[in-house]
Structure 1
Amino acid sequence: MSTLLIYNGTVLTMNEQNEVYTPGYLYIKHDQIVEVGPWPVNEEEGRHLLQTERQIDAGGKAIIPGLINGHTHLFQTFLRGVSDDYSLSDWLRQVIWPGSIAMEAEDFYLAALIGCIENLKSGATYIMDHHYVHTYEENTEGVLRAMLETGIRGHLARGGVDLSYEPKLREEEEQIFARTDSLLDRWQGNGSGRIEIAMGPLNLYGCSRPFLERAARFSQDRNLITHIHVAETSDQIENTLARFGLRNLELVEAVGMLGPKTQVVHGIWLDDGELELLAKYHASVIHCPVSNMYLASGVARVPEMLSAGINVALGTDGPGSNNCQDNLEVLKFTACLHKVHHLDSTLLPAMKILEMATRGGAKAMGREQDLGTLESGKKADIVIIDMQKAHIAPVHRVSSALVYNANGNDVHTVLVNGQIVVDQGRCTFVDEEEIIKRAQARVDRLRDQLAKEYPVYGIRE
């Protein structure tokens, strides 16, 4: 499709002025937004708008930039809901590690397909997938194929650990870097620029210092984002203090990994000095409030980060610790978590939450020049949300309704790169029903395989 007009809806541009057009329109040509403004337009000036190949009447709907899911683990769609009520370490040992080791290469592809569908249908046009299970060489390719086939904009952080951790998930250092280079050669810029590769050391407690130092040089030499779990639990702080005499972010700085292209995932247990480091190096934090509550990891210092000028983006985290990837749901959890934690209902107004989910995400990905807002010249990554639902309407303020009322089931239409990938709530690139049917059959076999050794997999209540 070369031209498209979306009109008559409420347009939240999320630009620097947070302009809102009620109603407004977007004129799209190929993969770019050409015009955005109030509707209706002067008949003579707007004659070209009515000659577009397709027109979408967005009356009663909100039109926003595509949300950016700054952190997930797509393979975990196969492991969500196996069991709740675990600490992070027990959850990894009893659920995630055995499940991921038992998964076959085809499982990673199917799990990622479902994960991409779920993200698109809940308003995320861009995902950062932290993929760290390499039991089969084809696993990573399967995740990237899923991104390509569903039409989503996907960034894969090639994860790995060389030291502690579950032995079957550990890799040799040479293999990690050789395979990351191979992914860059084959996948970087694929899908008309939709697919990108990042460096993703999984965490600090599973990596040696020489590996982290090499990862930092590798990313700098290739101009890559570095995406890493940092300070998710208090135990992780004790680990790096015991091993190196440094707190988590102090270690990230010491190995040369901290900079504008660094994404600090979680960052819950950072102290004042570490917040100063984030601001000094212009690194971004990926905040995952649902996962942090689900695993009782703690509450990140997001209001303080924002006050210090630190860029904060939002993520669902993997569906193993969420247990879904509803990107609209994350908005409400973000707002409510920090209000109740600080006993301050004035914190994080609705537009600030939306900024983190759009502009904040784009900045974290180094894409603020072409993503994150609805402006002329930006990529046509757009989400249309139906506001005429009993749990939303009547609407006083669209920004409030989006944050506190809407959920993924309200997403009507999604565009990525100017292509309609969700149309009236249905994915257009793939067959959802067939994928879910195949995935359920694979998961049923996986549970039967694991139930004898790991009783949690045998519970079917």
Structure 2
Amino acid sequence: MVAGDRPGGVRTRGRHVSATLLGQGAPVTRLLVTNAVLLTCDPDRPPAFRGWFTVGDDGRITGVHEGDPGPEVTAERVLDVAGALVGPGFVSSHSHLFTSASRGMAADQSLYGWIEGMTRYTEAADAEDVYWFTRHGAQDFLRNGITTAFDFTDPDLAFERQSAGVASFVAALPDTAYQHAQLRASLDAGLRSVHSVMLGQGAVPQADALAQLDDVVGMAAAFGDDPRFLRMAVSGAVQWAPSPAAADLELAAMRRHGLLNQPHLLETPHEVELQRSKFGWYRDAGVLGPDVVFGHFIQTDEAIIATSAEAGCGVSWQPMSNGRLASGVTSIPEIRAAGMRVGIGLDDQSCTDVSDPFSNMRTGIALLRATYRDPAAMPVGDMLTLATRGSAEVLGVDDRVGSLRVGRFADFLVVDPRDPDTGPVWDPVATYVLACSLRNLHQVWSGGVQVADGARLVDPQAGEVVSQTHERMARLAAAVG
């Protein structure tokens, strides 16, 4: 059962949380979190234990310990969570934040029909519009316990569908300011970001596409000291490209700036052989390697998985959106058995609809166990790891996020299974994954700073973000018709 009584303190959603200021003079640490059941996602520790941790002035964890701190441990602030579960902030390894204003659209469509419906209005957006839409998505993530995201920015390129399974983007150079607005938005919201951009497609000369990428990278350099800006990436687009030259371009971009590449690939159940032939473009161009993370990767075969595993590629799995769009079930057991790293994403907020990492975990477990008729297809503890540390590892940022370990940022969640009550806690990890939900998420912290109290964001501009998003989307809808 969960250890910890309920000491006196500040009343928060029916639960006592003590947040006491201690000490005179120079504090030892910025924050001490105590009386917690810790789910650290640290492979060198038990899955759950009663303990405490400290956070330094740089927002990073300075110590994680079992039991209770002694009287010699002081801090600027003490957060007594009264026996609640404390886990790392979720890491979404695959997200499209700008879609936050387009939920519930194309409700009965598969991927490309949904894209047509979802982008109908955002195609008319300008850089200022997409800034507010992205910030709306970022603060929605934070409110729901997602503290880090790989963000596929809107390239502002026209989408064309040729069939149920084939689509392309009109050859053009994505606008630098338009893409940059989305990076500013996620950071302004307080979300940690892996910022991903799409390159020029089709007839655009490679030199022009790389020069435009240089502009994007140069603009992003202004955020180089911001701890929320984790790294840049390429949004691999071979799935929508007309020729193998797209793979050559992505390889050149990766080498030019040391970028991660996450391509959407093998996603829909339509025209599977065509999709698999495009995997060959990446293989033949020499793109495959540890800096490649395949998004979705559903319509695979044994040879594709083996080739990808041998090269060291990773996979980002999106259970809820794959189900909503009828894309299929990713072969996660085979992929993991082959040795590929796996992370979990919330995907578009307009096809996951509710950016709920708890539901995403449960959906993934249910899909795999039902498909394989085997509970071992996805153990509960493994699912929590994939949604946190696993996602950080696949993105190459696990030295900073994804677990409660010394040196990582103090991005953590306070989840109380007693409010509302889920019953006795026999297994903290199982309760966290299977029985808890957003209603049990009481606090979200990033870098040792609270960013959400229940469903309320601490950001004083949160209301303005909502107003701007609704007003701008209404204007676009009226203009498009």
The normalised TM-score by structure 2 is: 0.84
Deviation at 1:140, TM superposition (A): 1.5
Q: Which residue of 1 aligns with 2:254?
A: 219
Deviation at 1:221, TM superposition (A): 3.1
Q: Which residue of 2 aligns with 1:126?
A: 148
Q: Which residue of 2 aligns with 1:47?
A: 72
Deviation at 1:343, TM superposition (A): 1.6
2:192 partner amino acid: R
Contact 2:105/2:114 (CA < 8 Å) preserved in 1?
no
2:401 aligned to which of 363, 371, 394: 371
Q: Which residue of 1 aligns with 2:429?
A: 399
Contact 2:121/2:473 (CA < 8 Å) preserved in 1?
no
Q: Residues 375-386 of structure 1: matches in 2 within 5 Å?
A: 375-386=405-416
Q: Which residue of 1 aligns with 2:193?
A: 154
Q: Which residue of 2 aligns with 1:167?
A: none
Q: Which residue of 2 aligns with 1:183?
A: 216
Deviation at 1:324, TM superposition (A): 2.5
Indicate the SS of the match to 2:274: helix
1:92 aligned to which of 115, 120, 136: 115
Q: Which residue of 2 aligns with 1:230?
A: 265
Q: Which residue of 2 aligns with 1:59?
A: 82
Deviation at 1:425, TM superposition (A): 4.2
Change (3 A) 1:427 1:176: farther
Change (3 A) 1:175 1:422: farther
Q: Which residue of 2 aligns with 1:459?
A: none
Does residue 271 of the first structure (1) align with residue 301 of the second (2)? yes
Q: Which residue of 2 aligns with 1:12?
A: 39
Q: Which residue of 1 aligns with 2:104?
A: 81
Indicate the SS of the match to 2:376: coil
Deviation at 1:162, TM superposition (A): 1.2
Q: Which residue of 1 aligns with 2:178?
A: 139
Q: Which residue of 1 aligns with 2:8?
A: none
Q: Aligned equivalents of 1:446 and 1:392: distance in 2?
A: 43
Q: Which residue of 1 aligns with 2:13?
A: none
Q: Which residue of 2 aligns with 1:456?
A: none
2:51 aligned to which of 24, 31, 34: 24
1:326 aligned to which of 356, 365, 368: 356
Change (3 A) 1:85 1:191: farther
Q: Which residue of 1 aligns with 2:165?
A: none
Q: Aligned equivalents of 1:271 and 1:68: distance in 2?
A: 28
Describe the superposition over 1:88-139 as per-residue Cα deviations: whole angstroms up to 9, x where unpaired. 222223x133222122222211111111111111111110011132365432
Q: Aligned equivalents of 2:30 and 2:376: distance in 1?
A: 42
Q: Aligned equivalents of 1:183 and 1:151: distance in 2?
A: 21
Indicate the SS of the match to 1:143: helix
Q: Aligned equivalents of 1:100 and 1:443: distance in 2?
A: 8
Does residue 192 of the first structure (1) align with residue 220 of the second (2)? no
Change (3 A) 1:429 1:190: farther
Q: Which residue of 2 aligns with 1:444?
A: 474
Q: CA RMSD in A?
A: 2.2
Indicate the SS of the match to 2:195: strand
Change (3 A) 1:105 1:171: farther
Q: Which residue of 2 aligns with 1:285?
A: 315
Unaligned ranges ≥5, structure 2: 1-26, 158-174
Q: Aligned equivalents of 2:335 and 2:206: distance in 1?
A: 34
Q: Aligned equivalents of 2:38 and 2:61: distance in 1?
A: 13
Q: Aligned equivalents of 1:185 and 1:236: distance in 2?
A: 39
1:15 partner amino acid: D
Over the matched positions of the two proteins, sequence identity in percent amounts to 24
2:177 partner amino acid: E
Count, aligned residues: 434
Q: Aligned equivalents of 1:207 and 1:259: distance in 2?
A: 23
Contact 1:161/1:202 (CA < 8 Å) preserved in 2?
no
Indicate the SS of the match to 2:378: coil
Q: Aligned equivalents of 1:264 and 1:17: distance in 2?
A: 28
Unaligned ranges ≥5, structure 1: 164-169, 241-245, 452-461
2:243 aligned to which of 208, 211, 214: 208
Does residue 344 of the first structure (1) align with residue 344 of the second (2)? no
Q: Aligned equivalents of 1:81 and 1:426: distance in 2?
A: 23
Deviation at 1:216, TM superposition (A): 0.9
